[in-house]
Amino acid sequence: MKKVELYTDGACRGNPGRGGWGAILVYGDKEKELSGGEPMTTNNRMELMAAIAGLEALRVPCEVTLTSDSKYLVDAINKGWLESWKKNGWRKADKSAVLNVELWKKIDMLLAVHDVSFVWVHGHTGHPYNERCDALATAFADSFEEG
């Protein structure tokens, strides 16, 4: 299995507001930058979209180390929340509906394809790939007209 590094970040101008996401795939000495966004969204949705886009860009099953500054994303996997939500009919421990359920379902499907390890990194502390992903995300968010 190919070993790939995936770095992701999401950004939002207002929450909700103009949003963007950035992802960088690293395989050997090759890098691929991806970005996108929505004119009205939330930061959490953009964090999830960055992970989805990065994983969807892989053409074959890979061993992936996904590094993100999103506790929402990383903790949902590493603390077993995603598995609990699925078992509970996409409900949280307090019985309320899981937010962004359609995105979590996509992530769940992608995790069945790829062997993904999730790593949390503190954002905006000079991590080169996190800073680059943030720049991609904010640039896309800023590409939408205000208002």
d(CA 45, CA 99): 9
Name the amino acid, one letter, at 7. Answer: Y
Helical pair 71-78 and 43-56, crossing angle rounded to 10 deg: 60
**Is 108 considered catalytic here?**
no
**Is 47 considered catalytic here?**
yes
Of the residues 20, 22, 37, 134, only one is catalytic, namely 134
**Is 134 considered catalytic here?**
yes
Of the residues 9, 19, 20, 54, only one is catalytic, namely 9
d(CA 143, CA 5): 27
| CA-based nearest residue to 8, from 87, 86, 77, 84 | 77
Query: Residue 146 to residues 40, 43, 84, 142: CA-CA distances in angstroms?
Result: 10, 16, 38, 8
**Is 89 considered catalytic here?**
no
Pair of tokens at residue 55:
């994983």
Of the residues 20, 38, 69, 114, only one is catalytic, namely 69
Of the residues 20, 22, 47, 54, only one is catalytic, namely 47
Of the residues 10, 20, 37, 54, only one is catalytic, namely 10
Catalytic residues: 9-10, 47, 69, 124, 134
